[in-house]
Amino acid sequence: MNNTDRTLVLASTSPFRRELLQRLGIEFETMAPDVDETRGADESAEALVVRLSEAKARVGASQYPDALIIGSDQVALCEGEVLGKPGNHENACRQLARLAGRRVSFMTGLCLYDARSDQAQVDLIPYHVIFRPLTEQQIERYLRREQPYNCAGSFKSEGLGISLFESMQGEDPNALIGLPLIRLTSWLNAAGIQIP
């Protein structure tokens, strides 16, 4: 329950982000942000996710003019290449085979936008994963069990995907799933939504 009169809105249709925010035990609404996610010609992946997280939060102001709105966006990078969602089994096999034994960086843009004051707090939270060497059989078994075809990097770290990792590095493991709760909690506390 929120201890402020402000409505809290998650500008995301991601079930993973919704589940993460529910962990905080606060009331919130969700909305689907209609934002063009096209990357600019000279835009870095990091600048893209920061821009998109703020754009997603700001787009909710017309519907929620007095709310605190959370926007988030994420990109996965391996050796400078942006990793997309595989979409199907074959692409996921190729993607995991490429990631085996390598370091993948997840860059998550986070924004808390105060629609009442038109003020936005925006940050980039990195998280890194080192994949362990994987055989074709391990990849096949994993994909058949979890079918993470709508996940960038072809895994779900909150599930069996954790077995694919050799190590994880970063401030907030929730950033890997797409919503950095440590930073967000600090911002929400400062905005009057006390957690816990």
Per residue in 66-123, pLDDT (tens digit) is 999 999 999 999 998 999 889 999 999 999 999 999 999 999 999 999 999 999 999 9
152 located within any domain = yes
How large a percentage of the chain has pLDDT more than 70?
A: 98
30 located within any domain = yes
Active-site pick, 5, 73, 114, 123: 73
User: Could you give the CA distance from residue 35 to residue 58 in angstroms, rounded to a whole number?
Assistant: 10
Q: Is 73 a catalytic residue?
A: yes
Over residues 183-189, mean pLDDT:
97
The band of 152, judged by pLDDT with boundaries at 50, 70 and 90, is confident
Domain CATH number, residue 91: 3.90.950.10
180 located within any domain = yes
Over residues 4-23, mean pLDDT:
93
The pLDDT of residue 195 is 93
The pLDDT of residue 166 is 97
Q: How many structural domains is the chain composed of? A: 1
196 located within any domain = no
Helix axes 89-99, 136-146, angle to 10 degrees: 130
Mean of the per-residue pLDDT values for the chain?
94
- Please choose, from the candidates 129, 104, 130, 29, the residue with its C-alpha nearest in 3D space to the C-alpha of residue 70: 29
3 located within any domain = no
2 located within any domain = no
The band of 36, judged by pLDDT with boundaries at 50, 70 and 90, is very high
The pLDDT of residue 3 is 56
Q: Residue 69 is part of which domain span?
A: 8-190
- Please choose, from the candidates 40, 31, 92, the residue with its C-alpha nearest in 3D space to the C-alpha of residue 65: 31
- Please choose, from the candidates 26, 128, 5, 126, the residue with its C-alpha nearest in 3D space to the C-alpha of residue 70: 26
Distance of CA 60 to the CA centre of its chain: 18
Global pTM exceeds 0.85: yes
184 located within any domain = yes
The band of 59, judged by pLDDT with boundaries at 50, 70 and 90, is very high
How buried is 118 (Cβ within 10 angstroms: 0-12 exposed, 13-18 middle, 19+ buried)?
exposed
pLDDT in tens, 81-96: 999 889 999 999 999 9
1 located within any domain = no
